[in-house]
Amino acid sequence: MFKDSTIVKIFSVFSFVIFAIVIGKLFYLQVLDAEKYTQFVQSQSDPKLTVLTDRGYIYDKEGKLLARNKSAGSLFAYRKNIPNKYEFFKALEKNGIRVSSKAKKNLQETDTFTYIARQIDLAKAVKLSQEIEGLEYFVEDARFYPQGSLMANVVGFTGSDNIGRSGIEYFLNNRLEGKQVNIASLKDSRRRIILFEDKLELSRPDTQVYVTISSRIQAGAEYILREGAKDFGARNGSVVAMDIKTGEIILAANVNGFDPHNYWKYKPETWSNHGFNYVFEPGSIFKTVAFSYLHNSNKLDRNRLIDTSKKITIGKYTYSDTKYYGTLTVDEVFTHSSNIGMTQLIRGENSNRQGFYDFLVNSGFGEKTGIYGANEESGIVKPVSSWSKTSLTSMAIGYEVLVTPLQVVRFYAAVANGGIMVNPKIISKIIKGNETAIPEHTEKQIMSKETASYMLDLMQQTVVAGTGQKANTELTKIAGKTGTARVYDNKAGAYSTQNYSASFAGVFPAENPKVAMIVVYESPRSSIYGGSTAANVFRQIAEFISTEKHYFNEEIKVVSNEN
């Protein structure tokens, strides 16, 4: 046997040899053969592997989903893979797939990649590719709108490339579109990818957009507005309602709507939001603006009596009324919507046309409201240097000026808000990652509180005893103004004798205003007057909103089931 000292020496030598071998191997791997193994590791990793996050989701005021992504199938083919083109096209047509003439030509003359249909139901794409020889498919992102056509003019739609083409989808496309995210991964010895992160989780959208509109209220308004259009034979129209304090759009409904899933089947003009993009001469709803200007400028003598028995001719234009009123008080000129009376009142201020123009511009007419999340028109208010002899009087009764329903409802909201005009908002918030963006709130005093109070009282009288009686309801007190205006025919170079815009703009509940709203119909046939058409629908929608939000007349007692 070995002595203890000999064993220790042998073990020491053995350990040294093993240590030297390990060090040598490490030196060989990390220094002498480093490049080989670096390439090997790189071949197993995939630093370029990325995933595209879903396009952001859109929700209504109550969190109900309005727009999200979904997987869809896109069909394509190559000419060389189609054994019988006649049977190929026949089978597609039998399954409801319409092949464009361009696609047919490509498949007849070339052998390039040819789209047959984009973003159809994925299950259907799979089934058709299995049944029709030569037909192939791939999966791509598409947009899905759970509420269908509801609020389509507000939300908009995306094209086949999943890029916004109208509405919020277009306006906020840069915020909504997905982004590329790198994924940590390796490949095993068989080149299969090993993910260290959840691909589905990473692809979730990091943007959520919330609108100010409730789907429930929007649906009710759309129904009432469209039923009214049927009854009156109107070509088009809209209703816009706004919170007078916050500027939030409560609803924005169009007569003409569309299905965002099949937008190409509709005329492009049906895609836009009528309430924000319809530019029209407002007619008598603009008398509220003229009266506000006169009162705010201390130019309105309420003790004055106005003789409306005779028509007034200025240049080539004659101002008349639809009824004979005789002598009216200043207040009655407004409540009865007398054009003759309004002409006389505004002409007393003829020496200061600039003052009226400045009031219009300060009230936001002639420029966009700046509403965030929607496209809009600016309208037109001509500079004083371009005015004719009739411009002042015509503008006072709602002609020679172009406005949008949104601009009008914002002004009426200011009347109900003590003369303070707030900016309208259709987006309540945008959440992106951990950040929340809220649209800026602005306020501007455009008239005195006294003027606003006076106009609110006049509008109440108009509904109770004037031209707006069709808007009167026991459920909630309404204050407003009727409007009827001829539509200018550009082709004929004159005002139409058949086409009118009929409108009613107002606020409710009148004793403590919460909502400003406008209803506009294009070319109604059963009656051209806003007092007979738009006022009626305004009342129905106001009743519906008041029921939803409990804006009841204080005199109405709600019966309780409690003992």
The lowest-confidence range among 170-184, 401-415, 508-522, 541-555 is: 170-184
91 vs 50, residue with greater confidence: 91
Task: Give the pLDDT confidence score for residue 315 in this predicted structure.
Answer: 86
> Does 15 have pLDDT greater than 70?
no
pLDDT of residue 194: 41
User: Looking at residue 487, what DSSP letter applies?
Assistant: E
Q: What is the pLDDT of residues 360-390, one digit of tens each?
A: 999 999 999 999 999 999 999 999 999 999 9
pLDDT at residue 202 in the model = 45
pLDDT at 196: 40
**Mean pLDDT within 3-32:** 61
- Which helix (H) or strand (E) segment is 242 a member of? strand 236-243
| Structure token pair of residue 101 | 């003439």
What is the C-alpha separation between 295 and 275, in angstroms, rounded?
Answer: 29
Interval 525-535 mean pLDDT = 95
Whether the pLDDT of residue 445 is over 70: the answer is yes
pLDDT in tens, 286-321: 999 999 999 999 999 999 999 999 999 998 899 999
- Domain residues of the chain, as ranges? 50-78+115-197+206-211, 215-427+436-549
Predicted confidence band at 172 (pLDDT cuts at 50, 70, 90)?
very high
Return the DSSP state at 48.
T
pLDDT at 393 over 90: yes
pLDDT higher than threshold 60 for residue 562: no
Sign of CA dihedral 333, 337, 468, 426: negative
Task: Report the distance separating Cα 502 and Cα 495, nearest Å.
Answer: 15
CA quadruple 30, 36, 41, 46: dihedral sign: positive
Q: Is the pLDDT of residue 542 over 60?
A: yes
CATH fold, domain 215-427+436-549, is: Beta-lactamase (3.40.710)
Distance CA 535, CA 521 (A): 11
* Closest to 97 measured CA to CA, from 120, 77, 123: 120
| CA nearest neighbour of 519 among 167, 215, 211, 222 | 222
Of 187 and 85, the structure prediction assigns the larger pLDDT to 85
The pairing of strands 135-144 and 65-77 is antiparallel
Highest average pLDDT, of 54-58, 105-109, 441-445, comes from: 441-445
Q: Is the pLDDT of residue 258 over 80?
A: yes
Confidence band, pLDDT 50/70/90 cuts, at residue 10? low
Q: Which comes out higher in pLDDT, residue 23 or 238?
A: 238
Q: What is the CA radius of gyration of the chain?
A: 34
Among residues of the chain, what percentage have pLDDT more than 70?
A: 83
Over residues 440-462, mean pLDDT: 98
C-alpha 389/C-alpha 435 separation (Å) is 55
- Measured between alpha carbons, how far is 275 from 404 in angstroms, rounded to an integer? 7
pTM more than 0.75: yes
What b-and-e string marks burial along 260-287, b requiring 16 or more CB atoms within 10 Å of the CB? beebeebeeebbbbbbbbbebbbbbbbb
Mean pLDDT of 528-546: 97
Query: Exposed, middle or buried: residue 503 (CB in 10 Å: 0-12, 13-18, 19+)?
Result: buried
CATH class of the domain whose range is 50-78+115-197+206-211: alpha beta
pLDDT of residue 186: 46
Cβ burial, residue 383 (10 Å; 0-12/13-18/19+): exposed
Rounded average pLDDT over 219-246: 98
Q: Of 73-82, 147-156, 172-181, where does mean pLDDT reach its minimum?
A: 172-181
7-21, 214-228, 352-366, 508-522: which has the minimum mean pLDDT?
7-21
Kindly indicate the confidence band of residue 101, based on its pLDDT and cuts at 50, 70 and 90.
confident
Q: Nearest 5°: phi and psi at 544?
A: -65, -45
Q: How confident is the model at residue 434 (pLDDT cuts 50, 70, 90)?
A: confident
Arithmetic mean of pLDDT over the chain: 87
For residue range 42-67, what is the model confidence (pLDDT) as tens digits? 544 444 444 456 789 999 999 999 99
pLDDT at residue 439, rounded to an integer:
94
Range scoring the smallest mean pLDDT among 89-98, 133-142, 188-197, 362-371 = 188-197
Share of the chain above pLDDT 90, in %: 66
Beta strands (DSSP E) in 96-170 are 114-121, 135-144, 157-158, 164-166
